[in-house]
Amino acid sequence: MTLDTRIFILGQTDPHEVFGFCRDLLGATDQHTFSDEQDSTWSKGESFVEPTNSWAISNNPGQGLPAWLMLYYRPDAPLRTAEQAAAHDEDCNLPENAGYVEEWGPCDGKYHRRACWLTVSFDTSYGYRDERGYGCGDLHAEYVAKLGQWLDSKGVRWEWENEFTGEIHTGYSELINLASGGFEATAWFKTTVLPAIAAEAGGAR
């Protein structure tokens, strides 16, 4: 089992620049290979209502990096517009979801894929543990915080999804619920992330 944490970048951003920044977070070097190709699963439209001409940049798996990095984008266009995100796909009305419809009513779009310029995914085994004592949640909290601050410095809006809860968040305060404690104990968290959380609480974000 793995933890897949996704960051939805809402403003126009160069996907290759973002991918390069995220590779640096992972400690990837020129020895760590990756692919950049059209994502045929999304493009076929057989199972989902997805925009055509979507691409995926992905580190190749099995290279010893702490997370499998994937980034989904469309060249010179949003990955998914607000109109595309609002559209119902066949998942909304699958027979196995009949109980959901009976209890909660028709799909209200809450769990639709997000409208965004691109999506970044960090995927790490639940059993991950590094020399700092970080588990997968601590690691991803660090990645989200560092990527978020980099995007903030560029004035680009972003959101992230906690796969444990399925909830979408803006900013840094909810990262505490993703981490198991190692991340919060670091000096970097105390000197860099806590002030960002305080700024959010003060309405600066």
Contact call for residues 25 and 147 (beta carbons, < 8 A)? yes
Chain-centroid distance of CA 47 in Å reads 21
- Predicted TM-score (pTM) of this structure: 0.83
Contact call for residues 54 and 79 (beta carbons, < 8 A)? yes
Residues 6+ apart with CB under 8 A from 1: 125, 126
If one counts the domains in the chain, the total is 1
- The β-bridge partners of 167 are 162
Q: What is the dihedral of CA 20, 26, 30, 36, to 10 degrees?
A: -50
Q: By residue range, what is the domain housing residue 184?
A: 2-201
* Interval 13-57: pLDDT, tens: 999 999 999 999 999 999 999 999 987 654 444 444 445 678 999
* Interval 81-127: pLDDT, tens: 867 766 665 555 544 444 444 455 566 555 557 889 999 999 999 99
